Amino acid sequence: MRTRPTLSWIPPDDLPPGTTDPGPVVDALRAGGVLVLSGAGISTESGIPDYRGEGGSLSRHTPMTYQDFVSDPRARRRYWARSHLGWRTFGRARPNAGHRAVAALGKQGRLAGVITQNVDGLHQAAGSEGVVELHGSLARVICLSCGTVSARRELAERLEAVNAGFAPVGSGLNPDGDADLDDEQVGDFQVVPCAVCGGVLKPDVVFFGENVPPDRVEHCRGLVRASTSLLVLGSSLTVMSGLRFVRQAAQEGKPVLIVNRDVTRGDRLALTRVALPLGATLTAVAEELGPAGGAPDGP
């Protein structure tokens, strides 16, 4: 059964305020065993906008839903035209200070793992290992008929070949990697089928309205169970795919710490929310805790 996509959340007026003191985050990381859950906010400093922050893409753009993609060929054409244009920028994005700090904390031995809601691969590019891509990766494409998975760069080359000269000026890049184009700009853009069976190609990501694969969810639940605390970085936690792990950690009595400038749907369950920029804050925390390769401090 497909879930109805949750695109917005109206925060109540009585949420606990954020703080500018990262001390509790430092303490948790010093103890070790911290599971990171990251969202779109950690990639904004790499030029990829978030969904709901200031200037977030939802103010101008409704993301593609799974239901529209599989049922409407015109919607698929619009998606692939916008995504093909956006990939030219999205595919060149590079890790920022926040991604590098998470990788450094991992090398210090302070993390139990990294779960990301992002589809940009920037944690791995920064050097983090064993990253769980909760919503998949735009660097891969999957056939909905035969299940063949291929590299996005291969599809980009095929789309370039059949859409020579396609270079409209989009009005902005979105977190899911597509650019804003109107129907006139999409024009007669041609979509290519699976090279193996001729089926419909889809980016290997979880669209809004599509469920995260159950085995992936259970793997993440196991990471929560094995951790000592949960550190949320740059996520509003509006959608259940990430919020469920915050609720699980809280139910298991494990501290939840959030670094996010804006209020989140998990604030009531958190020990603290640090309302500071991610890149500078995480860099300072990683530097305070020690060089790469260091072990968590003892009691």
Options 84, 99, 135, 219, the catalytic residue: 135
Q: Which of 37-46, 121-130, 183-192, 259-268 is the least confident region? A: 183-192
Percent of the chain with pLDDT over 90: 71
What average pLDDT is seen over the chain? 89
> What string of DSSP letters covers 94-114?
---HHHHHHHHHHHTT-EEEE
The question of whether 219 is a catalytic residue gets the answer: no
Is the four-CA dihedral 45, 47, 48, 50 of positive or negative sign? positive
Q: What is the pLDDT, as a whole number, of residue 1?
A: 34
Structural domains in the chain, sorted by start: 23-289 (3.40.50.1220)
Q: What is the pLDDT, as a whole number, of residue 60?
A: 46
Whole-angstrom Cα distance, residue 251 to residue 159?
Answer: 47
Which residues face 201 on adjacent strands?
143
Residues 156-165: tens digit of each pLDDT: 999 999 999 8
Residues in CB range of 147: below 8 A, 6 or more apart = none
Whole-angstrom Cα distance, residue 232 to residue 46?
Answer: 18
| E strand or H helix that includes residue 7 | none
Q: Tell whether 120 is in a known binding site.
A: yes
Is residue 12 over pLDDT 90?
no
Q: Which of 105-109, 207-211, 252-256 is the least confident region? A: 207-211
Q: Tell whether 128 is in a known binding site.
A: no
Is residue 296 over pLDDT 90?
no
Backbone angles phi, psi at 62, to 5 degrees: -100, 120
Backbone angles phi, psi at 67, to 5 degrees: -60, -45
Q: Where are the alpha helices (DSSP H) in 92-178?
A: 97-107, 122-126, 152-162
Detail the DSSP E strand segments found in 10-154: 34-38, 111-116, 132-133, 136-143, 149-151
Mean pLDDT of 258-287: 97
Residues 169-191: tens digit of each pLDDT: 665 667 677 777 888 888 889 99
Whole-angstrom Cα distance, residue 159 to residue 6?
Answer: 31
Q: Tell whether 53 is in a known binding site.
A: yes
Structural tokens at position 264: 């989140």
Whole-angstrom Cα distance, residue 29 to residue 42?
Answer: 18
Residues in CB range of 21: below 8 A, 6 or more apart = 272, 274
Is residue 62 over pLDDT 90?
no
Is residue 5 over pLDDT 70?
no
Q: Tell whether 143 is in a known binding site.
A: yes
The Cα-based distances of 104 to 109, 147, 249, 294, 295 in angstroms read 9, 36, 24, 10, 12
How far is residue 107 CA from its own chain's centroid? Answer: 21
